[in-house]
Amino acid sequence: MTVPLTGRPRLKLPSVATVGEVVEIRTLLEHPMETGLRKTPNGQPIARDFLASFIAEANGAPVLNVDFRNATSANPYLIFHARISGPTDFRFVWTHEDGRSVDDVAHVDVK
Amino acid sequence: MQHLDDLPLAVDRRQMLIAASVGLVASIVPFARASTSDEVDAAIRDLIGNATPRDGGIALQVPETAENGAVVPVTVVVDSPMTAERYVRAIHLVATKNPTPGIASFRLSPASGRAQVSMRIRLAEKQMLLVFAEHSDGTVNRAAAEIKVSVGGCLT
C-alpha cells in the first residue's frame, strides 16, 4: 500500500527575526516510514514506503540536507537552525525513495 | 602575563558544552565501550571514509531509557563556531544493534548558524548510539551514548 505524498507538512519558525539571529526551525511530515522489515500479525511483510531525504533552503541556498535511513522514526520530526541575514524565503522539500516529493515554504522578515 | 582576551573563544564554548552535556544526559559513555560489528564498522567507513575520529566535541541529549523504541528523541550539539571558515559539514547517526545500522545523516552549512540538530529515531533493543561530526577542515569527532529500550521499535 503506497501512501501518496499529500500530507500537509507542519512548520514552526518565527515570522520575524533580527539580522544575525539564529532561529530554530521545527518541521514534521506525517509519513509511516515503513522500512520493509516489519510484518503484519499474520506474518505478511509490510511493503517498504520510505522517505529518502529532506532539504531546507534559504533564498535558494542550502541550509540543511538530511538523508533518512531505516532507523528514522515515522512522521519524521526535525529541529534545526538557520542564521538570518535578511528577509528570507525558506523552502522545505521531503522526497520519497520513489521520487515523489512534497514541499512547503515560509517567510521570515527582519525587524 | 596572559590577558583574558588572549584566551581562545573555543575554550569557553567547549566548557559550556561540557557543562550542558553533564546536565542533560548521564548516559554518554567512552567510545571504546561501544563495541561494533563488521556491519556497523562498514557503515561508519561509508559515512566518514578514512578519517580517524577523535572523541569529544559533541554533546548528546538522549533518554537513558526509551519507553518506546519507535520514537526515541535525540539531540546532537557539536562544538563549532559555524562560520564560513570553520563549520560542521555533516552529522551522522549510527545504531549498533538495529537490523540495519543507518539512522540519518545531516549535511549542514555555515547558514545553519548552529551545529545542533534533533530528530526521533527507532531503536530495536538496548544499544549504543554513535554520532560522528565532520568538520569543514576534514577532521571528525565522535561520541557514543548507551540507550536502554523498553519496547523495541524496529520490527513491531
| B19-52 per-position pLDDT tens digit | 455 445 545 677 766 777 899 999 999 999 999 9
Which pLDDT does position A85 carry in this prediction? 95
Do B120 and A73 meet the contact criterion of CB atoms below 8 Å apart?
yes
Euclidean distance between CA atoms A68 and A55, whole angstroms: 11
Flag whether residue A35 sits within 8 Å of chain B, measured between CB atoms: yes
Give the pLDDT mean for B143-154: 89
Percentage of residues in chain B having pLDDT higher than 90: 71
Dihedral pair phi/psi, residue B110, rounded to 5°: -55, -30
Q: Give contacts of A 54-93 with B, CB under 8 A.
A: 58, 61-74, 76-83
Q: Cell 520575524 sits at which residue?
A: A16
Could you say which residues of chain A have pLDDT below 70?
Answer: 1-4, 6
Least confident of A86-90, B23-27, B120-124, B131-135: B23-27
Which residues of B fall within a CB distance of 8 Å from A37? Answer: 99-100, 154-155
**ipTM tops the 0.90 cut:** yes
Which pLDDT does position B36 carry in this prediction? 78
Of B71, B108, B119, the CB nearest to A78: B119
Nearest to B153 by CA among B129, B123, B121: B123
Nearest to B131 by CA among B55, B24, B18, B72: B55
